[in-house]
Amino acid sequence: AVERTLSIIKPDAVADNVIGKIYTRFEDAGLKVVAAKMMLLSEEKAGGFYAEHKERPFFSELVEFMTSGPVLVQVLEGEGAIAQNRDIMGATNPADAAPGTIRADFAKEVSRNAVHGSDSAASAAREISYFFSESEIFSR
């Protein structure tokens, strides 16, 4: 089925000037960018996005990193988009990511891992509406 998933190009990848290379990975995998915005996340916005990780030891480091510079947030649409995006991102820890995946090629450590992608249909729905209204998404 055609799905939508929420993707974030994180501050490390924006700073490394690889937005275009990462978009090419999405496009080559058949994922369409149907919404996008660059933004500097506030502590509140980043903390709310990662609310499920609030009790994790790395939570404050995660929020600090995600607010350290601009991010590019996008909605990707395509057949099986949620799993497809996870496949091309590779494992959360770039040390475990398969060769040729975005994290293997553009990330250095688990705490600065270049991209985020929704992990389920429920997360995708929550995460998309956290950043975009329906009128900002251009299905095509």
Give the residue numbers marked as catalytic.
Answer: 116
Q: Which stretch binds ligand CMP (CB under 6 A): 34-42, 77-85, 105-113, 126-134?
A: 105-113
Figure out which of the listed residues 92, 104, 123, 130 binds ligand CMP, where binding follows CB under 6 A.
92
Contact between 7 and ligand CMP (CB under 6 A)?
no
Residues annotated within the binding site for ATP are: 10, 58, 86, 92, 103, 113
Contact between 138 and ligand CMP (CB under 6 A)?
no
Contact between 91 and ligand CMP (CB under 6 A)?
no
The answer to whether residues 50 and 62 touch, using CB atoms and an 8 Å cutoff, is yes
How many angstroms separate the CA atoms of 130 and 139, rounded? 18
DSSP state of 58: T
Q: Min. distance of Cβ 64 from ligand CMP in angstroms?
A: 10
> 46-85 mask for ligand CMP (x: CB under 6 A)?
-------x----x--xx-----------------------
Helices (H) and strands (E) in the chain, counts: 7, 4
Q: Look up residue 138 and give its amino acid.
A: F
Figure out which of the listed residues 29, 83, 110, 125 binds ligand CMP, where binding follows CB under 6 A.
110
Phi-psi region of 66 (alpha: psi -120 to 50; beta: other; left: phi over 0): alpha
How many angstroms separate the CA atoms of 137 and 25, rounded? 20
Four-point Cα dihedral 48, 51, 55, 56, nearest 10: -100
Q: Which spans of this chain sit near ligand CMP (rule: CB under 6 A)?
A: 53, 58, 61-62, 92, 110-111, 113, 116
